[in-house]
């Protein structure tokens, strides 16, 4: 009997055993071999599992004798192949992207699901991830394997796929400060970043500390690899350095000195000296040096032709020094304010007495008036005599 190569499906229907030419003789069989998984097999019944076996037939009846015969047969497993279905639209979204791999036989009948392991390709490095499906953006190799079984041969396949980074939109916030202040933190708003993730975008600004506008630049050197910028954010003139305004920030170099008092400027040509320290100059042609309210020295110069020349020397109190240059009195701030008010009152009084005399001294007023009348009469008589 020639050897036979059988598939598993055909082995189950194969006609094992034999018969003797004299059908009265009893024919027995033995099966010895090694199964597909390396295990030995020995039995009086055939094995239908994949492997290589030897079938031996012999006659045991004492009335008959026959030479045993043998044949070898091999049961082969069905060939298989794997189809890998890569995930569609592999864009980072925080979830795992598992590869679907299915085992089929030669007739394209589904056998089972294949085992899939993953390897990450990072530059020139290969990082084995095992059976854990990847989540992070990057390039990956999926390896699907099927170890086979008693009826199917093993098979393997691999595929390459990429999880793309997610595109996000970034808007750079406007910032400002005053000249000389420390820079505020540069910030931005990002649309599309998943909760719990950090974008990792850094911002830098154009150098300069003078007042004006400066650009803010995005730095993607530390950007989270799971994300990419949908577009380069515009940071033109987003940083403003302001000049300090006197209305907003006081000038530290300015010192305000309170007004110690009030200084009055009399009419032109008039010098007023209040008591103390105040000098008053009467109307032109008249010099008045007051001592106090009860005495004064007045010199009047009448106009030409129509006015008389009068010189008056009133009595002076010898007990009082009327020289203002020798009068030195130290006063406190309170006294100065009181004297200022007093000087203002005296000014009003003296402005009246410069034309009409000091009304507070009636005797002096009468003496001056009589003297003036006498002098006027003298001048009139002298002119008539000259004619």
Q: Specify the pLDDT at position 37.
A: 87
Whether the pLDDT of residue 66 is over 50: the answer is yes
Whether the pLDDT of residue 19 is over 60: the answer is yes
How would DSSP label each residue in 50-95? SEEEEEEEEE--TT-----EEEEEEEEPBPEEEEEEPPSS-B-SSS
Q: For 307-363, what is each residue's pLDDT tens digit? A: 333 334 444 343 444 444 433 334 444 444 444 444 444 444 444 444 444 444 677
Reported pTM:
0.54
Distance (Å, whole) CA 165 – CA 156: 30
SS3 of 355, please?
helix
Q: Looking at the DSSP assignment, which residues form a beta bridge with residue 126?
A: 121
CB-facing half-sphere around the CA of 185: CA atoms within 13 A: 2
Q: Specify the pLDDT at position 251.
A: 33
Kindly list the structural domains of the chain, giving each domain's residue range(s) and its CATH number in brackets, ordered by start: 4-76 (2.60.40), 80-164 (2.60.40), 167-242 (3.10.430), 272-320+327-386 (no CATH)
Confidence tier at 106 by pLDDT (50, 70, 90): confident
Q: Specify the pLDDT at position 361.
A: 64
Question: What is the average per-residue pLDDT within 217-245?
Answer: 94
Q: For 123-163, what is each residue's pLDDT tens digit? A: 889 999 999 999 999 999 999 999 998 889 999 999 999 99
SS3 of 130, please?
strand
Q: Specify the pLDDT at position 211.
A: 94
């Amino acid at each position: 009997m020639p050897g036979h190569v059988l598939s598993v499906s055909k082995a189950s229907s194969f006609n094992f055993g034999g018969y003797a030419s004299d059908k009265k003789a009893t024919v027995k069989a033995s099966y010895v071999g090694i199964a597909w998984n390396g295990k030995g097999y020995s039995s009086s019944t055939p094995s239908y599992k994949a492997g290589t076996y030897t079938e031996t037939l012999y006659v045991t009846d004492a009335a008959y004798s026959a030479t045993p015969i043998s044949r070898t047969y091999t049961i082969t497993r069905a060939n298989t192949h794997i189809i890998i279905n890569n995930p569609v639209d592999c864009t980072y979204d925080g979830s795992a992207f598992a590869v679907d791999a299915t085992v089929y036989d030669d007739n394209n009948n589904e056998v089972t699901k294949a085992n899939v392991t993953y390897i990450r390709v990072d530059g020139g490095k290969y990082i084995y991830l095992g059976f854990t499906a990847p989540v992070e953006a990057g390039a990956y190799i999926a390896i699907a394997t099927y170890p086979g079984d008693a009826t199917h041969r093993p098979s393997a396949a691999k595929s390459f796929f990429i999880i793309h980074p997610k595109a996000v939109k970034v808007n750079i916030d406007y910032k400002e400060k005053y000249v000389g202040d420390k820079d505020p933190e540069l910030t931005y708003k990002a649309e599309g970043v998943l909760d719990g993730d950090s974008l990792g975008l850094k911002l830098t600004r154009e150098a300069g500390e003078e007042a004006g506008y400066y650009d803010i630049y995005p730095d993607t050197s530390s950007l989270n690899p799971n994300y990419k910028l949908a577009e380069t954010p515009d940071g033109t003139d987003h940083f403003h350095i302001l000049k300090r305004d006197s209305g907003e920030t006081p000038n530290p170099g300015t010192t305000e000195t309170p007004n110690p008092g009030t200084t009055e400027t009399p009419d032109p040509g008039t010098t007023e000296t209040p008591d103390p320290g105040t000098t008053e100059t009467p109307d032109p042609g008249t010099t008045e040096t007051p001592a106090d309210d009860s005495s004064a020295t007045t010199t009047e110069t009448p106009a030409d032709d129509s006015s008389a020349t009068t010189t008056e020397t009133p009595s002076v109190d010898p007990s009082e020094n009327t020289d203002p240059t020798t009068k030195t009195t130290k006063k406190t701030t309170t006294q100065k304010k009181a004297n200022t008010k007093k000087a203002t009152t005296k000014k009003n009084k003296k402005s009246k007495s410069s034309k009409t005399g000091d009304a507070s001294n009636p005797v002096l007023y009468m003496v001056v008036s009589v003297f003036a009348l006498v002098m006027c009469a003298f001048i009139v008589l002298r002119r008539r005599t000259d004619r």
